[in-house]
Chain A
Amino acid sequence: MTSSLPGFLFAIPFFAAVVIPVVGFTNQKFCRPIALGTLVSLSIVSVMGLSEVVSHGPLSHEFGGWAPPIGIEWVVDGLSGLLMVAISIVSLISLVHAGPLVEKELPGRVIPFYSLSLLLVAALGGMVLTGDLFNLFVFLEIGSLASYVLVGVAGGRSLHSAFCYLILGTIGASLYLLGVGYFYAETGTLNMADLAQRLPEVIDSRAVLTGLLFIVLGLAIKMGLFPLHGWLPDAYTYAPNSCTPLLASVVTKVPLYAFVRIAFWVFGMTTVSTQIPILVVLGWVGAVAAIAGAYLAIWQESFKRMLAYSSVSSMGLFMLAFSLGTETGFAGGLFYVLADTLMKATLFGVAGAAFYQCGASTVTDLVRLRQNMPWVSAALLISALSMVGIPPTAGFFGKWHLVVGALEAEKYFAVAAILVSSMLTALYFFRMFQRVWAEPLPLVEAHVLETPFPIKMSLGVLTFGLIALGLGSDLVMGLIFESAIPKGF
């Protein structure tokens, strides 16, 4: 059904991203209200889109009036609508959280920060909603450029990590483009739906196989799948604390969505598990990633670096979930992705709050949370319990559905990987609990600032969201089963 809603989903953040530098030259104070207002309206429009999709079916929008497959088509269906809602709401909360931090960390760079964050949100939305492979590449690069600059905008130690991220990210995007070129050479189309129709005839050709391999490699670099995650720990650790909640929660999940879309909607479930058994390989890679990431996180002293390796481990769990090949596994993986956006935003938000109030950066420094920060401590407790997987938080339900899906598919190595990585996650998070709550306070009481209201509100909303998502997991799983599962299971 044609609708202009996807067009608005692109236009709202894009226009704001372009208007902010023009308006901000007159008065810097206008940036933040414009940015927050834009994200509020984007969240409202995306929720409207999701409710429309659930009741009436997928929405499509043809750019320029040209019908697909000649023109570019944007499709809001269950999966992309759900992810769009998650992206807009989590980015709104992250930008609210970043308010006090921007003034402290990036004193002269307020305009670039808000403009680039909105451009990043526009690009992520574009990647999620598009139905055209080359359009996905364009938005992938726009979003990546915005995130390279956001990682390095503070200067200092972060410049080198941003440069490494830039080089590796560009290699990834170029490999993706090469894969798209192979698909175009073999079938003559770039539209995902049209490609899905034309692929069965040419599925045995080596060009299609090579194209798929290049696309998977490129997207794996972008999403930080072990062992192609080299840029991730440095980028997350040294990026300014105003940017990390946004970067860590949504930026790696959208290439994962792109992979899921290409593997399950363009190729089809049976093709990628039997004819070109890429899912089997990725299942093993995900299992190794989950365990290795969790293992590496145990040895980190810096809190943000520990969370970065925890992200690597989570990405392995997502890949494992999507490669299981059952409906429960797929839905559980999608639910765990949604839960993880909330969890990572909360954890990196806690890191930012700790940095703002008492300059804490290592796990041992976090002991100062006991001094004057009840909200931040509560947020840390709930999100850490959710990462480990303790009911009634959202993380428990996500992992529960993952294990059930793995048992249904009779892939016992997946069950073992999930359980081992959960135990290792428990190990490093309980080590953190011990440092924060069981160690004595240091004798020298550092000056601890009051928690600013934006940080309190954003961490409170995120924590509430984690518990609400956990208690309402039946509703969300029902929604996923109804509208976000690909055919062919």
Chain B
Amino acid sequence: MADIVLYRPHFVAFIILFLLGIYIMVVSLNLVKKLIGMYLMQTSIILFFITLAVKKDSTIPIILSSATAVTPEAYANPLPHVLMLTAIVVGVSTLGVSLAMVIALYRQYNTLEEDQILGKMK
């Protein structure tokens, strides 16, 4: 157990952020706070992917001159970064759509608290 915290602290950080995001989503009554929790959860998954790409003593994955031989171990893995660019864009679009929905909900019910909205819907 201790070696996970000592040698793999990034996994511990990912787990804490993920669970924190889900906790915020479940517990908060305010709709915007739920969205904050959702985005925190998505960001923790992005963190998890990025930590898969790190290598010891590696440099940026761009070949500057074709004269020297290319060894794959010297370059950091670019694939998780590219995947996470897409995931960030997806997360931002989801956030945009959800904020538009929250604005519409506010204009309709004049409140952002979930329990008051449920009460007004009855």
Contacts and interface: CB of A to CB of B under 8 A. Distances in A.
A152 interface: yes
B64 to A, nearest CB: 22
Nearest to B118: A160
B97 A148 contact: yes
A141 B31 CA distance: 21
Nearest to B93: A145
Interface in A131-164: 134, 137-138, 141, 145, 148-149, 152, 155-157, 159-160, 162-163
B86 A138 contact: yes
Contacts of A149: 97
B101 A181 contact: no
Given A148-B97, A181-B49, A167 B38 contact: yes
Interface string A343-359: 00000000000000000
A420 interface: no
Main secondary structure of the interface of B (DSSP, over half): helix
A30 to B, nearest CB: 25
Contacts of A137: 87
Interface string B66-102: 0000000000000010010011001001100110011
A157 B122 CA distance: 10
Given A152-B101, A178-B48, A134 B83 contact: yes
A236 to B, nearest CB: 17
Given A160-B121, A162-B101, A181-B45, A167 B52 contact: no
Contact of A138 (B41, B90, B101): B90
A177 B94 CA distance: 15
A157 B101 CA distance: 12
Given A163-B31, A167-B38, A184-B80, 11 more contacts: A155-B104, A155-B108, A157-B121, A160-B105, A160-B121, A170-B38, A170-B94, A174-B42, A177-B45, A177-B87, A178-B48
9 contacts: A141-B93, A155-B108, A159-B108, A163-B31, A163-B105, A167-B25, A167-B38, A171-B25, A185-B52
